[in-house]
Structure 1
Amino acid sequence: MTAELTDHEVAGQSETVQETPAWLTALRSALDPNSKRRLEALDPKPDWHSLEIGAGSGSTARWLAERCPQGKVVATDIELGSLSAEGFPNLEVRRHDVTTEDFPEASFDLIYARYVFSHLRSREEDLARIVSWLKPGGWLLLEEPAQFPVESAQDDDYREVSLATLEQYKEQVGTDLTWPRTFPAPLVNLGLEEIGIDGDISVVGAGRPMSLFWGEAIKGWGPIVVGAGTATEEQVERAAAKMYQDDFYDLGLATMAVWGRRPA
């Protein structure tokens, strides 16, 4: 459906802001530096109107609000959780489902999403709609997790349990961490211009930020993986424990980034 900006539910200051979970804090600390580097390279102007889809705890949205003081940033998520606009008059927080709810055409100079579209079964259709929300000349930047480094992991328990976990994500949620390896094709196919692609690979072990995130994922999905018969309970326990061991090192998920501009 299509709705005017003012018709979406807006988070007021009366809503309870939840404490950010430790795993989300760890993921944010692992990803934020490269996200801000890529956004900075797009040279946001002070009066830009920007949209962050799946804003999480809002660290990137707040950075954009500071970078574009005469503009506006709309930060959305399906659950607001720890997302708050407090202290940022040009930041608006909204509960919004990108798979079912629209914004008016040509609303934004920049649309940004991190770790969102690889989880959506309708990602191709959703991306086509989202491009229409860009102003002519507006930028779309996506950052998505990719599993290809984990496929080459040297530790058997870590590799097998991680891939089994990702397979359950795909079956039950729709998450496809092979899709980001197709970049930049999704944006090329949508007719965007000035296409760019970038990537970085995390390292797990020794309690690094991505280790804390992935260790919690392994533990959380462990019973489902064991129930599916793709790993044993002992394998899951060993793989999760290695994320916190000082003497363990292996490759974690990659982050693949792609950006492009709507023709002026």
Structure 2
Amino acid sequence: MTEIAELYGDALFAHDHDLEAVRLDAMTRMHDPATQARLQVIARPGMRCLDVGAGLGRVSGWLAEQVAPGQVTALDKDVRLLNALPDVYPSVQVVAADISDKTLDFGTFDLVHCRMVLMHLRNRIEVFQKLTQWVAPGGWIVLADAVHATMVSPPENPFRQLMERHWRTLEKSIGTDNSWAWQYPELLHEAGFVDVGVEMYQPPITMNSAAGRFWALNFGHLRDRILSDGYVDEELFEAAVGVMSEPGFTELSMGLVTAWARKKP
């Protein structure tokens, strides 16, 4: 019998988890400033947009305001956190679908946006190619994923050790690749896109920041998996959590690498 590989959202980060909406809210508040700044340069009234992995729908709703009277399709495998979105933004269509479904086809869009999705997919190259095909001639694609980036604390700091080692659990369990996003510029050039650009945003982690809230929730969610994998023992884990709650603690979060490009008319 073939073993079925675990996927993002099956157990880890499932939308029915008690605190998943809160975790996603913190991640959204952590990354939306960078995402909105980039999309604002591209979004124009009347555009047809696709937001892949819409999560809570914050980017989808914001895009609907930017491209009005255009349309936004908010796509997610699990839409239970998106169902109320069209009540607030009637121009947003919520679609429940798995981006990895080979039969999935929406036609083309003027703007395709995908954040924090492909890094968690084992078939990320195939999905990347699909997304590029959904961009209309002259249209734009904006892709963003997290990378493990430089931290300011010394190597022996327990928080830094937990941050570095938790990636191993994600890779082992759901296939996460925290270096994948560095390939975006090259991949977009190879796909024939022009006006390719890339930037990285690395928000601060403090006791009261959105990034601090996100990592407290993220590590809490992953605690049992990290400990059972043996990459971190309970003493180090608790020490890392304690460091996060110390007044004056500051660190740099994972980097959000965003790449954008235009398809030739």
Q: TM-score range by the shorter chain?
A: 0.7 to 0.9
Residues 34-113 of structure 1 correspond to what in structure 2 (within 5 A)?
Answer: 34-42=34-42, 44-83=43-82, 84-100=85-101, 101-105=103-107, 107-113=108-114
Which has the larger displacement, 205-214 or 169-178? Answer: 205-214
CA shift for structure 1 position 20: 7.0
CA shift for structure 1 position 244: 3.0
Residues 246-257 of structure 1 correspond to what in structure 2 (within 5 A)?
Answer: 246-257=247-258
Residues 107-146 of structure 1 correspond to what in structure 2 (within 5 A)?
Answer: 107-146=108-147
Number of the residue aligned with 1:6 = none
Residues 82-231 of structure 1 correspond to what in structure 2 (within 5 A)?
Answer: 82-83=81-82, 84-100=85-101, 101-105=103-107, 107-150=108-151, 153-154=153-154, 156-231=157-232
Structure 1: 5+ residue stretches without partners: 1-17
Which has the larger displacement, 232-241 or 167-176? Answer: 232-241
TM-score by length of 2: 0.86
Equivalent residues, number: 244
How many Å separate the matches in 2 of 1:115 and 1:226? 24
CA shift for structure 1 position 240: 2.1
How many Å separate the matches in 2 of 1:228 and 1:46? 49
CA shift for structure 1 position 19: 9.3
Q: Is the Cα contact below 8 Å between 2:21 and 2:56 reproduced in 1?
A: no
SS of equivalent to 1:99: coil
Number of the residue aligned with 1:21 = 21
Deviations 1:54-92 (A, max 9, x none): 011111111111112221100011111321221222110
CA shift for structure 1 position 104: 3.8
CA shift for structure 1 position 113: 1.0
How many Å separate the matches in 2 of 1:156 and 1:181? 26
SS of equivalent to 2:132: helix
Structure 2: 5+ residue stretches without partners: 1-17
Letter in 2 for 1:231: V
Q: Is the Cα contact below 8 Å between 1:207 and 1:246 reproduced in 2?
A: no
Percent identity, aligned pairs only, is 25
SS of equivalent to 1:234: helix
Distance 1:133 1:141, change over 3 A: same
